[in-house]
């Protein structure tokens, strides 16, 4: 018999009390104490490699502690280590978890548990599901995405990294870029060109590739925010057994769309692990406005209401998207959620600039001021990650509104014959 949501919340909070320290609480439950304590609104980590590894170790340890009781995969089946409950229970646990001092989220962690694990679960062989899904959900091993290339970003289907069949193996040559956390991961989900004579959307194949394979070179990219979360990854005659092929040969586009659907799905259950959302939140923006005295300005109050209204609409939209998804692959509604999310991040940036003025660029040590530069500098990146805003609008126009597709001069052409 399924436990009620109220009973589950009581049990979960008791477990959290035993396993983590409770965060200091402000006047509203879960709200940061205004003007005191740590304050981070970073979109991307600006940590040294050592600090980032330590964060990931803390996250792994926390996820594996939750895995002992199934809290790491609440909405997953019991056979895969979860609790077999609905997403509503997972969201309830996530809300409770944010009240405690747990490790901050990391991109590699979210990719592993929220993108690659469900993709393997949906499209992998029985052996792959048995071998990888539980290990990924419990974060015993981490994954990165190996999708984008220097000449194939938003036009992902134009990728040219080659995978040539050689008996029971595949030989991979080429380059990937913007691979978050690749230097920390044991596995990568790779999309490669397996048939250059087929149209570009049909000649791709997906693989799970061990990141320590001979012939793989990972080069971190220094970001303007100060960190090196992204990487270039080079493949030089890398051999991958056919048993690690994910999906059918030539079906890589479907695998990529499945993973991207999970990436664009913002109806978050919290099962990606860790605390808080990406970048600054409405609560943090309001706390900054109050501590700087900006809420006395009626124009600032109007800007703050724009953010509050957007956050509320985004929340209703995500709940509706969760209902539509019902445990399957996110559909085009994920594109709407992704657009709302990135627009919300950029709206928060805009209003933070109004609230802070020159304090945004002056590191005076004042609480909740200069820290916002990490949000302002990082937020635009998510207008590209997971498919640019323009791509999301095309998806909504063509798949939801049924508008005519954009003219494509390469439609039906073999990939090798497309002018470059």
DSSP 73-118: STTS-GGGTS----HHHHHHHHHHHTTB--PBP-HHHHIIIIIIHH
- Domain edges within the chain: 143-260, 266-271+278-400
Q: Which residues are part of the catalytic machinery?
A: 263
Task: Give the residue from 319, 345, 324 showing the smallest Cα distance to 266.
Answer: 319
Q: What pLDDT does 166 receive?
A: 97
CB 341 within 8 A of CB 382: yes
Query: For residue 216, what are the β-bridge partners?
Result: 235
Q: Is the pLDDT of residue 26 over 70?
A: no
Cα(24)–Cα(17) distance, rounded to whole angstroms?
13
Q: What pLDDT does 126 receive?
A: 97
Cα(352)–Cα(346) distance, rounded to whole angstroms?
10
- What is the average per-residue pLDDT within 54-83? 95
Q: Is the pLDDT of residue 130 over 90?
A: yes
CB 369 within 8 A of CB 360: yes
Task: Give the residue from 373, 351, 11 showing the smallest Cα distance to 225.
Answer: 373
pLDDT digits (tens, 9 = 90+) for 183-240: 999 999 999 999 999 999 999 999 999 999 999 999 999 877 677 888 999 999 999 9
CB 95 within 8 A of CB 30: yes
Q: What pLDDT does 2 receive?
A: 75
pLDDT digits (tens, 9 = 90+) for 131-156: 999 999 999 999 999 999 998 877 89
- What is the average per-residue pLDDT within 261-276? 61
Cα(397)–Cα(402) distance, rounded to whole angstroms?
6
- What is the average per-residue pLDDT within 241-264? 94
pLDDT digits (tens, 9 = 90+) for 97-119: 989 999 988 889 999 999 999 99
Q: Is the pLDDT of residue 30 over 50?
A: no
- Burial environment of residue 419 by CB neighbours within 10 A (0 to 12, 13 to 18, 19 or more): exposed
Q: What pLDDT does 225 receive?
A: 64
Higher pLDDT, 188 or 40: 188
Q: Is the pLDDT of residue 245 over 80?
A: yes
Helix, strand, or coil (residue 394): helix
DSSP 149: B
Q: How far is CA 337 from CA 14, 207, 316, 334, in A?
A: 33, 28, 10, 5
Residue 117, CA atoms < 13 Å, CB-side half-sphere: 25
Higher pLDDT, 261 or 251: 251
pLDDT digits (tens, 9 = 90+) for 325-340: 655 667 777 888 889 9
- What is the average per-residue pLDDT within 6-28? 86
Cα(348)–Cα(325) distance, rounded to whole angstroms?
28
* DSSP per position, 279-345: S--HHHHHHHHHHTTGGGSHHHHHHHHHHHHHHHHHHHHHHHHHHHHTTS---THHHHHHHHHHHHH
Task: Give the residue from 193, 213, 205 showing the smallest Cα distance to 246.
Answer: 205
Helix, strand, or coil (residue 139): coil
**pLDDT classification of 160: cutoffs 50, 70, 90:** very high
Q: How far is CA 385 from CA 153, 179, 229, in A?
A: 9, 10, 13
Torsional sign, CA 170, 208, 258, 176: negative
Residue 138: phi and psi, rounded to 5, are -90, 0
Higher pLDDT, 323 or 406: 406
Q: Is the pLDDT of residue 351 over 80?
A: yes
70: how many CB neighbours lie within 10 A of its CB? 16
Give the percent of the chain with pLDDT over 70.
91
Q: Is the pLDDT of residue 266 over 80?
A: no
Return the CATH fold of 143-260: Butyryl-CoA Dehydrogenase, subunit A; domain 2 (2.40.110)
pLDDT digits (tens, 9 = 90+) for 282-291: 999 999 999 9
Task: Give the residue from 26, 112, 114, 32 showing the smallest Cα distance to 280.
Answer: 32
Same fold, 143-260 and 266-271+278-400: no
**pLDDT classification of 27: cutoffs 50, 70, 90:** very low
**pLDDT classification of 69: cutoffs 50, 70, 90:** very high
CB 375 within 8 A of CB 41: yes
On average, the pLDDT of the chain sits at: 89
CATH superfamily to which 266-271+278-400 belongs: Butyryl-CoA Dehydrogenase, subunit A, domain 3 (1.20.140.10)
């Amino acid at each position: 018999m399924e436990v009620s949501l109220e009973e589950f919340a009581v049990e979960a909070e008791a477990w959290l009390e035993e396993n983590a320290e409770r965060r200091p609480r402000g006047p509203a439950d879960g709200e940061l104490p205004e003007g005191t304590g740590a304050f981070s609104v970073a979109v991307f980590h600006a940590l040294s490699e050592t600090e980032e590894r330590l964060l990931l170790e803390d996250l792994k340890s926390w996820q594996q502690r939750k895995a002992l009781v199934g809290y790491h995969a609440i909405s997953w089946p019991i056979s895969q280590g979860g609790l077999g409950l609905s997403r509503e229970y997972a969201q309830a646990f996530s809300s409770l978890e944010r009240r405690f001092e747990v490790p901050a989220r990391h991109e590699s962690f979210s990719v592993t548990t929220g993108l690659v694990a469900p993709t393997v679960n949906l499209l992998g062989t029985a052996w792959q599901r048995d071998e990888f899904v539980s290990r990924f959900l419990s974060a015993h091993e981490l994954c990165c995405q190996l999708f984008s290339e220097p000449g194939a970003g938003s036009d992902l289907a134009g990728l040219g990294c080659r995978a040539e069949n050689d008996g029971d193996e595949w030989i991979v040559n080429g380059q990937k870029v913007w691979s978050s956390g690749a230097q920390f991961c044991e596995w990568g989900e790779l999309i490669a060109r397996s048939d250059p004579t087929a149209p570009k959307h049909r000649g791709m194949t997906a693989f799970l590739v061990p990141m320590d394979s001979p012939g793989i070179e990972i080069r971190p990219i220094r970001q303007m925010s100060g960190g090196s979360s992204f990487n270039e990854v080079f493949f030089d005659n890398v051999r991958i057994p056919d048993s690690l092929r994910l999906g059918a040969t030539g079906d890589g586009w479907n695998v990529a769309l499945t993973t991207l659907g999970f990436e664009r799905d913002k109806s978050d259950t919290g099962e990606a692990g860790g605390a808080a959302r990406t970048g600054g939140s409405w609560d943090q923006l309001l706390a900054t406005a109050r501590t700087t005295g900006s809420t006395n300005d009626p124009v600032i109050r109007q800007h703050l209401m724009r953010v509050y209204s957007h956050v509320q609409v985004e929340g209703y939209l995500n709940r509706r998207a969760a209902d539509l998804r019902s445990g399957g692959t996110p559909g085009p509604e994920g594109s709407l959620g992704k657009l709302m999310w990135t627009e919300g991040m950029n709206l928060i940036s805009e209003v933070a600039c109004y609230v802070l003025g020159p304090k945004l660029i002056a590191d005076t040590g004042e609480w909740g001021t200069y820290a916002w530069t990490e949000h302002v500098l990082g937020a635009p990146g998510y207008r590209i990650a997971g498919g640019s805003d323009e791509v999301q609008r095309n998806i909504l126009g063509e798949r939801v509104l049924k508008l005519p597709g954009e003219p494509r001069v390469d439609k039906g052409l073999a990939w090798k014959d497309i002018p470059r």
